[in-house]
Amino acid sequence: MADDAAQTNNEPVFVIEKIYVKDASLEVPNAPQVFLEREAPEINVELSNGSEPIDNGVFQTTVKVTVTAKVKDKTLFLVEVVQAGIFRLQNIPGTDMPIVLGVTCPNIIYPYAREVISDLVTRAGFPTVMLNPVNFEALYQQRLQQAEAQAVDAPEVAH
């Protein structure tokens, strides 16, 4: 009811409709030998996020996290999680939408991805992996700067 009132008053609406694991995979390619390794593994973390409209005023935002643990050239484990959220966003100014979708929504769903990764790694028999928090605002600003730099460097196309 309050949402209906907000729509008629043109007040911004931000609703979390659903948070879910869209995809998860775990590989332990060198088991069981990797469990005999005593060296601390080198951990590599890759992160990306994106959003897409799925209905009028409804968007899906995803955060993809890939964690690879290696000792020398041997992979201990590789975990990939795509955590997703469905958000209803209405009456939000167009200039604010990229920030809401690129910063606010990923900030909400990333902790869930961290939890899934930690759980999968532990269930695979390895010590818990605690991923650091991520500043999605800084990543968003970084992407904007890269896009601006590419636009400046790109040669103009004659029409």
Mean pLDDT by 10 residues, the chain (159 residues): 59 96 97 91 96 96 98 95 98 94 97 97 94 93 87 67
pLDDT of residue 16: 98
pLDDT of residue 150: 84
CATH number of domain containing 96: 3.10.420.10
Q: Is residue 69 part of a domain?
A: yes
Query: If residue 60 lies in a helix (H) or strand (E), which one and from where to where?
Result: strand 58-71
pLDDT of residue 53: 97
- Structural domain for 39, as ranges: 7-153
**Tokens standing for 42?**
């080198």
pLDDT of residue 158: 57
Q: Specify the DSSP class assigned to residue 37.
A: -
Domain count, the chain: 1
Q: Is residue 159 part of a domain?
A: no
Q: Is residue 93 part of a domain?
A: yes
pLDDT of residue 157: 58
Q: Is residue 14 part of a domain?
A: yes
pLDDT of residue 127: 92
Q: Is residue 1 part of a domain?
A: no
Nearest to 77 by CA among 127, 137, 113: 127
Q: What burial letters (b/e) apply to 54-91, b meaning 16+ CB within 10 Å?
A: eeeeebbbbbbbbbbbbeeeeebbbbbbbbbbbbebbe
Do the Cβ atoms of 91 and 6 come closer than 8 Å? yes
Q: Is residue 158 part of a domain?
A: no
Q: Is residue 140 part of a domain?
A: yes
pLDDT of residue 153: 75
